[in-house]
A and B are shown apart, each in its own frame.
Chain A
Amino acid sequence: MNAPMLRIADLTKRFGGLVALDRVTLDFEPNILHAIIGPNGAGKTTLFNVISGMLKSDSGTVQFRGKDITGMAPHRISRLGMSRSLQIKSVFDSMTVAENLWIAAQARQGVMHPFASRSRFGRTTERVDGILEQIGLTGLRNSPAGTLSYGDVALLEIGIALATEPSLLLLDEPICGMGPAETAETVEKIRHLAEEVDLIIIEHDMPVVFDLADRITVMAQGGVLARGTPDEIARNAAVREAYLGDEEEEDDPDA
């Protein structure tokens, strides 16, 4: 068994009186696809926000590949190789698709050359071409990102996350808002991705989750309700009770 790539210990986050994360302790092993599910307000997105540095936790620690990243700024965490997509899709609207990916790929280098022309960075450009191919947006490379369809924006988001050359990718509802055809396509892309990088996804679509995930974590009311393989989760009585057929979209408490 490999050592966990991501260790979360005793993580607590409050919003005023509301406890969004209540002493959450979780280990994520590498090389398998993790999914986090749970009803509305379970704290899934808050967990991602704290892991990626967008929110500071009230207590507890986060370790990424043996390094303590608790309270670290998002850009530093990103440079350590952790990348994430947002639940509410957001890209750089007035830049083209290629530029979106270009800046993400270049950002990973850390240093932003203030004077050299952008065309001089051949390696970055190559990488952009590769990612365009991977997410299937090559045909739209010169379209402004603001003009893309919802599904394409979601793909671009994944592309941006990939462009930073992550070793761990956190995807927050990657197929939310997609039609059936797009969903099937995206699921396949995610499955391929999982061969290259470690993945943790938050997803509401149960068939997709049970199809994709190797390991499922069920959250409820800021805590971990159950963990296990899809089979184990499907049989878990507490999980069934918590869901009761609830399939609603989750509201992001800190969008």
Chain B
Amino acid sequence: MELVVALALNGLVWGLIIALIALGLSIIFGLLDIINLAHGDFFMVGTVLTWFVLEATGNYWLAFLIVPLVGLVLGALVERSVIQPIRGTAALSIVATFGLSIIIQEVVRAGFGAAPKRILPPIEGTIPLFGIEYDYYRIFAAGVSIVAIFGFFVFLHRTKLGTWMRAVRFDRDTALAMGVPARTVYMVTFALGFAMASLGGAVAAPITTVDFQTGVDVLPFCFMAVIIGGLGNLPGTVAAAVLLAVTEGIVTSFTDPTVARIVSLCLMSAVLLARPHGLFTGATR
């Protein structure tokens, strides 16, 4: 029973981090029609940047600040150089971002090395929770993710840029006709997506390993959250990410992780086939 609780909690924490990453994936898709196969690598870049910041300064907290900022800049650069020329053609975006993914992974392998490394959490210790001793840091990580997700929604609904983004996503042509500066919105969207994924990486770095290949494992998970939550349904994405991760966590406590993965993938196919427009949409709009 204790194992179930621990793994369910792990799933919850992991699901919140995934939600943070998947939100970026979802807005990039919703606004730019870009199917971003490099999104997992944006996360991985976050973990690696965290490692470098820690190496350079020894201060973990600084990483939480620097990593998303670097992500923002990198995202803007990538948008201008790779995404801008092919926007609106989803099939090409798959290929271009696949190329991007190859480049990112190889650059990291060249600069950081091929060997996975571990980062110690900045907060040690455990606290009693639901009858088990649970890691402080994981609770903290969940907290950071929640705050970031919340902040993202506030940004989307309370700022001018956020309103523009929602307008473009809701009805691109009308928004553009009304003078929303499309290029800025696209760049900010992509940059924000990168920043959120890399913040996810900074948060997750002590929980997972720092390795140039982690993005490959994270990516399908994010896509599942986006699809199961319903394309364009941002709160749905968050809910789906948490649901998926908790389910997998609980199943893992009964069997080995690979089987748990298979079970969650089967559930996922069932959802896709039965409710292709997401778990949380009404019958018909």
Q: Give CA–CA (A238, B14) in the complex, Å.
A: 64
Nearest-CB residue, chain B, relative to A15: B284
Q: Give CA–CA (A15, B283) in the complex, Å.
A: 10
Q: Is B158 an interface residue (CB 8 A)?
A: no
Q: Give CA–CA (A232, B7) in the complex, Å.
A: 75
Q: Give CA–CA (A16, B282) in the complex, Å.
A: 9
Q: Is B285 an interface residue (CB 8 A)?
A: yes
Question: Which of chain A's residues 13-35 have a Cβ closer than 8 Å to chain B?
Answer: 15-16
* Count of chain A residues near B, Cβ 8 A: 2
- A15 to chain B: which residues have CB within 8 Å? 284
Question: Which of chain B's residues 251-285 have a Cβ closer than 8 Å to chain A?
Answer: 282-285
* Count of chain B residues near A, Cβ 8 A: 4
Q: Give CA–CA (A15, B285) in the complex, Å.
A: 8
Closest CB in chain B relative to A94 CB, distance in Å: 14
Q: Give CA–CA (A80, B282) in the complex, Å.
A: 35
Question: Which of chain B's residues 62-98 have a Cβ closer than 8 Å to chain A?
Answer: none
- B283 to chain A: which residues have CB within 8 Å? 16
Proximity string of chain A (31-52) to chain B, C-beta cutoff 8 Å, 1 when within and 0 when not = 0000000000000000000000
- B285 to chain A: which residues have CB within 8 Å? 16
Interface-central residue, B282, B283, B284, B285, by most chain A CB under 10 Å: B284
Q: Give CA–CA (A218, B284) in the complex, Å.
A: 28
Nearest-CB residue, chain A, relative to B285: A16
Closest CB in chain B relative to A56 CB, distance in Å: 12
Q: Give CA–CA (A29, B282) in the complex, Å.
A: 40
Nearest-CB residue, chain A, relative to B283: A16
Closest CB in chain A relative to B201 CB, distance in Å: 41
- B282 to chain A: which residues have CB within 8 Å? 16
Nearest-CB residue, chain A, relative to B282: A16
- B284 to chain A: which residues have CB within 8 Å? 15-16
Proximity string of chain A (201-219) to chain B, C-beta cutoff 8 Å, 1 when within and 0 when not = 0000000000000000000
- A16 to chain B: which residues have CB within 8 Å? 282-285
Closest CB in chain B relative to A54 CB, distance in Å: 15
Closest CB in chain B relative to A220 CB, distance in Å: 23
**Pairs across A and B, CB under 8 Å, 5 listed:** A15-B284, A16-B282, A16-B283, A16-B284, A16-B285
Nearest-CB residue, chain A, relative to B284: A16
Q: Give CA–CA (A170, B285) in the complex, Å.
A: 27
Q: Give CA–CA (A15, B284) in the complex, Å.
A: 7
The 5 closest A-B pairs by CB, nearest first: A16-B284, A15-B284, A16-B285, A16-B283, A16-B282
Closest CB in chain A relative to B281 CB, distance in Å: 12
Proximity string of chain B (119-135) to chain A, C-beta cutoff 8 Å, 1 when within and 0 when not = 00000000000000000
Closest CB in chain A relative to B105 CB, distance in Å: 36
Closest CB in chain B relative to A241 CB, distance in Å: 32
Nearest-CB residue, chain B, relative to A254: B284
Closest CB in chain A relative to B91 CB, distance in Å: 14
Q: Give CA–CA (A223, B167) in the complex, Å.
A: 36
